Amino acid sequence: MIEEGIPNFPKGAYDFADFSEVSYYAQKKKNRCIDLMGRLHYHKESQPKTVVQKNGDIRNTHLRDIYIMNEREELMRITLWGGTINAIDEAIQAQKDGQTSIVIVTSLLCDIFEGTYYAKSTGATKVILNDYEFPEVQEFAKDIEKLDVSNTGNRKSIEEIIHMVDGESSK
């Protein structure tokens, strides 16, 4: 019998990998999926792509690269394919509005392209945005807030930097 309204029933269970593990999974565990979490740092626009499948069928789809940043300010490229490319739109808009978006991307495969390790979506990939019900997201939000606070005192405008460089070179 299923009880209605079970309190504190988890939405899902994720095992977030460290960005440093992506190379290991790409080399040793090619068919094993991982979950990643980070702050949306950068994205590319959606691009049409024609894919030739292993059976020779040709399929038209879209891809979009996003880059997420962890608490150590390391970047990870994630290539979203097909239906997952639009799942990030809300985070992109929030970024344009000056807000931080914490992105969870699940069921990713790891690969290497032109010497760079990256993660790519699968048919099972889910994109979850700013879900603070996960303790890992709460802790990550605190970590990046500390990072943001520690970096704010060092920010300079381009004009200030040019003035500093010009001032030192004229001495």
Which tens digits make up the pLDDT trace of 25-46? Answer: 999 988 899 999 999 999 999 9
- Backbone φ, ψ for residue 89 (5° rounding): -55, -40
Report how far apart, in Å, the C-alpha atoms of 80 and of each of 48, 118, 165 are.
12, 11, 41
Q: Contact 45/80 with Cβ under 8 angstroms?
A: no
Q: Contact 47/64 with Cβ under 8 angstroms?
A: yes
Residue 102 lies in a domain: yes
Measure CA 146 to chain center: 19
**pLDDT score, position 171:** 45
Residue 45 lies in a domain: yes
Residue 151 lies in a domain: no
Residue 130 neighbours by CB under 8 Å, 6+ apart: 91, 94, 101, 102, 137
Q: Contact 71/143 with Cβ under 8 angstroms?
A: yes
Residue 85 lies in a domain: yes
Domain count, the chain: 1
Q: Supply the CATH number for residue 33's domain.
A: 2.40.50.140
Question: pTM value?
Answer: 0.78
Residue 12 lies in a domain: no
Q: Distance between CA 98 and CA 95 in Å, rounded?
A: 5
Residue 157 lies in a domain: no
* Residue 99: domain span: 19-131
Q: What is the pLDDT of residues 121-145, one digit of tens each?
A: 999 999 999 988 888 999 999 988 8
Residue 27 lies in a domain: yes
Residue 35 lies in a domain: yes
